[in-house]
Structure 1
Amino acid sequence: MAMRPYVILSAAMSVDGFLDDTSPERLLLSNADDFDRVDEVRASVDAILIGATTMRKDNPRLLVNSQERRAKRVAEGKSAYPLKVTVTGSGDLDADLKFWHHGDQKLVFTVDAAVDKVHTTLDGLADVVSTGPKLDWGLVLDELGRRGVGRLMVEGGGTIHTQLMAQDLADEVHLAIAPLLVGQANAPKFLGPAAYPGGSTARMKLLEAHPVGDVVLLRYAPKERTA
């Protein structure tokens, strides 16, 4: 069996832990230097994953923006852009979103009940894989490993970050902490309530902490917990 990919969770959040506010426009938490850092991480991975809710809300292209980084990928025998991956339990996807029309290959993980709906909606825009009657993250990672994905970058949203952290499937967490306070109870947060491995006293290993302009990058190793 192929090895599962190395999973990196990546998020920008406010000091009080929010990924966005409740306004219709996306709240820009990062700065230009941090966006470039994220672009560098994207260029280093084999696949980038977002949830269908994040896709619908933000409508991202999810690309490597730097021409030099794309050229370096091609020189290394890779595609110019990483594989783009999404997951959906409902099958509620929109074929007009930018995700499907920029970059190279796309892959959708869904459940048995939504497979036909996804195929009909996308009409060949992406490969579609079911993980069975429910979304199974173990099967998602197994399939990505089988497809040659060695490094996976997960860019949200909060539900997906929560599920992967709760199931102890994240190898690294990259958090860009912005000097903002959102303070809105209904705004999306980086993590929600869950039974996390080790409980509330387990401390993750800090790999890096440094300023990037006016945000602070924190890198943690969630699997290297100490009591």
Structure 2
Amino acid sequence: MADNSQKRPHTTVVLAMSADGKIADIKRSPARFSSSVDQAHLEKQLATADAVLFGAGTLRTYGTTISISHPQLLQQRLEQNLPPQPLQIVASLSADIDPQIRFFRQQVSRWLLTTTPGARHWHEGAEFERILVCEAPAANGIDWVSALQQLADLGISRLAVIGGGELIASLIADDLIDEFWLTICPLILGGVHAPTPVEGTGFPSEQLAPRLELLSAEVIEQEVFLHYRRQRTED
């Protein structure tokens, strides 16, 4: 697996999951099982980012994105000469997204990362301020290495990823994730078809699996907050 850390944003996954590693139930309902402490933790992590990346499936499930609302975090972004809200980037091959969902009425900047067919659904400057087309040359998908290089060229140095599992799997496959913030919540969801933080085809053996370094572990009430760094050969 190549190290694609050059000329791209520092990329951090931020997710909450059940004790058995599920990010939603078998119906893929919106996950509401984390506490107010975890919600504050999520907002804090997103407040440090220039942009937030998520898949269209995640957007369809919730209908909105997460806004920064805590006064201290808003002041922190102001002092860093950042806009009040991070840029919101939706990734989708088809870009088949309902334009009536509340996301398009939120006071945030929106970009779309898609393919040529997906871009035909939208006009740049209307619902999405910018449309980036980054197609993989030999497959029906997004070229993630090129996509993140484009984001870096456009001034994005810190990127937060909040789902879903297929998107995160694609980024891991290209070695484009640097850190993980994972919150373990005290419930069991179960179900072979319930989504997990990393979907995709998986790695054929544990020898080929990406390795992580645990940076911190904190227990707050009934939740465990884990912070990992991607461990690479040069680390």
Pairwise same-fold verdict (TM > 0.5): yes
Residue type of the alignment partner of 1:131:
C
Aligned counterpart, 1:143: 150
Larger % of helix: which?
1
What is the total number of aligned residue pairs between the two structures?
Answer: 223
| Change over 3 Å in CA distance of 1:9–1:24 after alignment to 2 | closer
CA RMSD of aligned residues (A): 2.3
Aligned counterpart, 1:39: 43
Asked if the contact 1:100/1:125 (under 8 Å) is kept, the reply is: yes
**What displacement does 1:87 show?**
0.6
> SS of the counterpart of 1:16?
coil
Residue type of the alignment partner of 1:158:
G
Aligned counterpart, 1:96: 100
Asked if the contact 1:207/1:220 (under 8 Å) is kept, the reply is: yes
Residue type of the alignment partner of 1:8:
T
The residue correspondences of 1:46-61 to structure 2 (distance < 5 A) are: 46-61=50-65
Q: Which moved more, 1:81-90 or 1:213-222?
A: 213-222
Deviation string 1:8-32 (CA, Å, 9 cap, x unpaired) is 0111111111001034742323111
The counterpart of 1:208, out of the listed 216, 219, 233, is 216
Asked if the contact 1:34/1:212 (under 8 Å) is kept, the reply is: no
Asked if the contact 1:204/1:225 (under 8 Å) is kept, the reply is: no
Deviation string 1:103-154 (CA, Å, 9 cap, x unpaired) is 33111010012211133xx871111111136311112211111111111000
Whole-Å separation in 2 of the counterparts to 1:25 and 1:3: 36
* Identical columns (%): 26
Aligned counterpart, 2:109: 105
Whole-Å separation in 1 of the counterparts to 2:193 and 2:101: 25
**What displacement does 1:198 show?**
6.8
- After TM superposition, the score normalised by the length of structure 2 is 0.86
Aligned counterpart, 1:62: 66
The counterpart of 1:132, out of the listed 131, 135, 159, is 135
Whole-Å separation in 2 of the counterparts to 1:72 and 1:3: 26
Aligned counterpart, 1:153: 160
Aligned counterpart, 2:18: 14
Aligned counterpart, 1:223: 231
Contiguous gaps of at least 5 residues in structure 2: 1-5
Asked if the contact 2:181/2:226 (under 8 Å) is kept, the reply is: yes
Whole-Å separation in 1 of the counterparts to 2:82 and 2:204: 35
**What displacement does 1:196 show?**
7.5
Residue type of the alignment partner of 2:9:
P
